[in-house]
Structures are given as C-alpha cells and as structure tokens.
Amino acid sequence: MSCLRTVFKLAFVPNSATIAAPSGMPTSASNSTASLVRRHHARWLAVLYACGAALLFLTPQAAAQSGSTMRVRLADGFDFPVGKPDADGFYKARGYWPNGHLGEDWNGRGGGDSDLGVPIYALGRGVVIFSQNIGVGWGNCILVRHIFREADGKIAMVDSLYAHLHERKAKLHDLVEKGQLVGTMGGNNGMYPVHLHLEVRKNLHIGMNRSQFARDSSNYYSPTAFINARRVLSSSMQKYDVPVNNFAPYGRALADTNSDGAHTASVDVPSFKSGGSGAPKDEPKQDDDFWSRLKAKMRGGQATSGTDEKR
Ligand SMILES: [Zn+2]
C-alpha cells in the first residue's frame, strides 16, 4: 500500500519544472513540453520499476504472513474436554505414556457406548487449525491451537487434538473459547469403542503426521498434567499473532510442502497396543469394559493395532 501511495505521490505531485515552465516562445515551449513529457515518463518508469522490484521481493513474505496467522487472545485457563467442568461423569480409560499412547482416552461412566454423541469441548481459548475427517485410524479430527502465558510469564503455544469424533462442530480458523463445543464423542465409525482420544502437543509442526516426530515428552504433554497445572491463567484483551498453517497437510512431510506433490504419503494412525504391557501402571482400575471391548475389536480386525502405519 505504501508503495502505491508512493507511486501516486511521485507521479502526480507537480513537477517543479512544470511549475517553473515559462509560457514564452512557441519553440522553446514545445521543446520544454517534449522534455517534460520525457522526464515525466522516465519518472513513471523509475517509480514503477522500483515498486515492481519491491513487490517481487516482498509479496511472498507478506502473503504468507497475512495468510498464516490469526489474532488470538491468551487462554485464561484450561479445563477437561468432557463433562465440564472438571470431567464430571467421565474417566480416563487410558493414559498418556511416551513411545506408547501419546494422548488420553476419555470415556463416559455410563458404560458401553452410552457416551456416543456426548459433547466435546475445547480445552481453552484458541483457534481451530484443522477440522477434517481423515479416515484410517483417526476419523473426524479437530486441532485447536492455544496461546497462553505460563506462570513464569513466558508466552507459549500448544495444540490440542480431539480425535475419532462422531461429528465435528467447529470449522477451520474458528475462534473458540474454553468449554466451547467442538465436536461429539465417537469411535471412528465403529472402529473403536466410543471414546475421545485427546492429545496436547508442544510441537506445533506435528499436525496429523505424528510418525515424523519423536513420540515422547519433547513433543507431547500428558494432557491431564498439562490441564491441571494451568487451570487458571492470566489473560487480557490483547491479541497475539498465532500461526495457523505451519504444519504439513495430512499424509505429507513438512519438507514435501514446497514440492510438486510427487511423493509417498506417510499416513499416521493412532497406536493401539494390545495387552497390558503398554498400559500405564497408575491408571485406576475401571469397572467399564473399555479394554476388553477394544481388544475384541482388535481381534476382529476392526481396530488399528500396533505402531504407526505407513502407506
Ligand atoms: Zn487414544
């Protein structure tokens, strides 16, 4: 814009020669007019070339910036994504453990699949950076990016993932508040017993391509630990620039995003380890049959088992 203003200023501000041009002898007047026209053209060209060069140089950066950030206020605290407040009526059927289960599975206390369709809420204020049904082991997924102030005063960002949803209730780039409906609980169309798979990521580049990142606490938080340590945070009316497009499209590596698309898509699906070996020791025994139902689905070949698959 400033470049355009410069063009107009330089092109239309009266030339000092024009103002001073004498209206005397016809010949000198016509000479003077010709030289003025030449000078005027030269000035126009110089300005246009300068602005063209500036645009060539600046536009990709400016476009990327304006297209890939959104203004978001700091989250004023976090809550659980079910049974607000405080996950009332729900329990954690499986916990987070590094190199195993990178999130938590939340279940209703009603037993069976009675929790099908119950509301899933955003953990805190943020912006929706992903809302798609990507099938495979994931199904309907929502990613929300949160910006917040840690107790030590530092500004931080995390992504929260809500997976296997029955329905998605938020769109890409929606601004959401803590406790706002973003989806309903599902089981990825019968692949799993109905539950919410919840992740909280420190690394904002993961998106839906987990297999390309270390499966440990360098990239992930234990969701419950993260929430409990940040129930109430200081906030204000101030808005911050939050990147909303800094991870690879689903099934692609970040390094692929500038290529022509000729690549092998690496598809990442949730890991479901059978047996008790991977289960966290500190999970309280629940009277729900989540595990036995999950194992039955795995034996039946419905649920995705093992580690992340690639295809
Ligand atoms: Zn899970």
How confident is the model over 39-50, as pLDDT tens digits? 666 666 554 455
Percent over 70 (pLDDT), the chain: 62
Cα(264) to centroid of ligand 1, in Å?
26
Q: Is 103 a domain residue?
A: yes
Cα(183) to centroid of ligand 1, in Å?
16
Cα(235) to centroid of ligand 1, in Å?
31
pLDDT tens-digit series, residues 48-82: 455 444 444 443 333 334 459 999 999 999 999 99
Q: Could you say which of 27, 57, 87 is where a domain stops?
A: 57
SS3 216: coil
Q: Is 311 a domain residue?
A: no
Cα(75) to centroid of ligand 1, in Å?
25
Which of these, 134, 93, 137, lies nearest to 112 by C-alpha position? 93
CATH classification of the domain holding 220:
2.70.70.10
* Residues 126 and 12 occupy one common structural domain: no
d(CA 205, CA 123): 19
H or E stretch including 106? strand 104-108
d(CA 47, CA 17): 18
Percent over 90 (pLDDT), the chain: 55
- Residue 24: domain span: 2-57
Which has more confidence, 276 or 172? 172
Residue 228 has pLDDT above 60, yes or no: yes
Cα(60) to centroid of ligand 1, in Å?
39
Cα(34) to centroid of ligand 1, in Å?
78
* Residues 93 and 208 occupy one common structural domain: yes
Tokens standing for 295? 């194992």
Instruction: Give the predicted TM-score (pTM) of the model.
Output: 0.70
**Per-residue DSSP letter, 211:** G
d(CA 31, CA 29): 5
Cα(44) to centroid of ligand 1, in Å?
63
d(CA 58, CA 54): 6
Chain centroid, CA 278 distance in Å: 29
H or E stretch including 149? strand 140-149
Cα(147) to centroid of ligand 1, in Å?
24
Cα(211) to centroid of ligand 1, in Å?
15
Cα(151) to centroid of ligand 1, in Å?
29
* Residues 100 and 236 occupy one common structural domain: yes
Cα(95) to centroid of ligand 1, in Å?
8
Cα(104) to centroid of ligand 1, in Å?
5
Computed over every residue of the chain, the mean pLDDT equals: 76
Cα(307) to centroid of ligand 1, in Å?
12
What residues sit around ligand 1, an ion, with C-beta below 5 angstroms? Answer: 105, 197
Cα(306) to centroid of ligand 1, in Å?
12
Q: Is 306 a domain residue?
A: no
Q: Is 66 a domain residue?
A: no
The dihedral sign for the CA sequence 253, 258, 264, 267: positive
Cα(280) to centroid of ligand 1, in Å?
13
Q: Is 305 a domain residue?
A: no
* Residues 131 and 249 occupy one common structural domain: yes
